[in-house]
Amino acid sequence: EAGVTQFPSHSVIEKGQTVTLRCDPISGHDNLYWYRRVMGKEIKFLLHFVKESKQDESGMPNNRFLAERTGGTYSTLKVQPAELEDSGVYFCASSQDVLGNYGYTFGSGTRLTVV
Amino acid sequence: EDQVTQSPEALRLQEGESSSLNCSYTVSGLRGLFWYRQDPGKGPEFLFTLYSAGEEKEKERLKATLTKKESFLHITAPKPEDSATYLCAVQTSGGTSYGKLTFGQGTILTVHP
C-alpha cells in the first residue's frame, strides 16, 4: 500500500510570503494529523482531522496557520504570512483508527525554511 | 503538562555491543507508549506500542519494555543498519484526541562496524 505522501519535500520562502503544504494520507485512513519539528526541539502535535472535521487543533501555534481537509481525503496546511520561527520540518501522519492500535504512519515531511 | 525525556541524547556503539535507550515520562494518564525509528530525511517509522507496566515487545534485535515511569529500548548485538534516531512518544487517556502524541527529543544511535 502507498504510504503517506507529502509535498513539497523542501520549500524556501521569504518572510511574509505564503506557503501551502500538502499531505495525502493512506487511502481509507480517516484520521490525519499534522506535527512539526522546529530545529533543536522535539516533534510537536499541531492538529488532528477525523475525515473533514477538526477533532483537535490545540497545537496550532497561531492564526497564521490554516489547515483544511476538504472531502476528507488530502489535507493542506497554509502558513500566511510566514515568519522566521515557522522554519522546521512539518510531518503529516495518518491512522486507520484514532487509538493508533496499528501505529500512526508518518510521511517524510516538508522542510520549510523561512528567510 | 505531559513530559517525555529520552537519554542519552546520542549513543555510539560498536557492532555487536548491546545497550539500552531510556524514555522516562510524566503524564496524567498513560494510554500507550510508542517507539519510532527515524532515518535522516525520512519520517518516523513505527516500531512498537506498549500499553501497561510489565509489557514487553520484540522485533528482530530490538526489545521494548515498560514500567510505570519509563520505557527501555534494548538493542541486542546491533548492526550498522540499526543506526538511526529512536523516538519515544506517549499517548494519554482522556482528552479530545487520542491521536495527540507527545514526543521526546530522541536518541541518536550510531553503530560502527
pLDDT tens, N- to C-terminus, chain B (113 residues): 889 999 999 999 999 999 999 999 998 889 999 999 999 999 999 999 999 999 999 999 999 999 999 999 999 999 999 999 999 999 987 666 677 899 999 999 999 99
Chain A touched by B101 (CB under 8 Å): yes
Beta strand pairing call for A110-114 and A10-13: parallel
Min Cα separation B3/chain A (Å): 11
**Banded pLDDT at A40 (limits 50, 70, 90):** confident
What pLDDT does residue B95 have?
63
- Residues A50-104: tens digit of each pLDDT: 999 999 999 999 999 999 998 889 999 999 999 999 999 999 999 988 787 778 9
Measured CA to CA in angstroms, residue A9 lies from A14, A56, A64, A77, A85 at distances of 17, 25, 21, 14, 19
Instruction: Give the closest of B43, B97, B106 to A107, CB-based.
Output: B43
A44 is written with which cell numbers?
Answer: 510537536
Chain B touched by A55 (CB under 8 Å): yes
Q: Chain A residues with CB inside 8 Å of B101's CB?
A: 35, 45, 100, 104
The domains of chain B are located at 3-112
What pLDDT does residue A2 have?
79
Q: Are B46 and A103 inside 8 Å of each other by CB?
A: yes
B75 is written with which cell numbers?
Answer: 538493542
Say if residue A25 is preceded by a cis peptide, omega within 30 of 0: no
E strand spans, B1-113:
3-7, 10-14, 19-26, 30-38, 45-50, 56-59, 62-66, 70-75, 84-92, 101-103, 107-112
- Please answer whether residues A43 and A37 qualify as being in contact, where contact means their C-beta atoms are separated by less than 8 angstroms: yes
In CATH, the architecture of B3-112 is Sandwich (2.60)
- Please answer whether residues B78 and B16 qualify as being in contact, where contact means their C-beta atoms are separated by less than 8 angstroms: yes
Phi, psi of A71 (to 5 degrees): 75, 0
Min Cα separation A55/chain B (Å): 7
Q: Are A55 and B44 inside 8 Å of each other by CB?
A: no
Chain B touched by A96 (CB under 8 Å): no
Chain B touched by A4 (CB under 8 Å): yes
Q: Within 10 Å of residue A85's Cβ, how many Cβ atoms? A: 11
Min Cα separation B99/chain A (Å): 6
| Radius of gyration in angstroms for the set of CA atoms belonging to chain A, rounded to a whole number | 13
What pLDDT does residue A1 have?
65
What pLDDT does residue B39 have?
97
Among A21, A42, A44, A92, the strongest candidate for a mutation testing the B interface, having the largest count of B CBs within 10 A, is A42
The domains of chain A are located at 5-114
A86 is written with which cell numbers?
Answer: 515557522
Q: Are B49 and A41 inside 8 Å of each other by CB?
A: no
Q: Chain B residues with CB inside 8 Å of A107's CB?
A: 43
A5-114: CATH class? mainly beta
Amino acid at position B83, single letter: S
What pLDDT does residue B1 have?
82
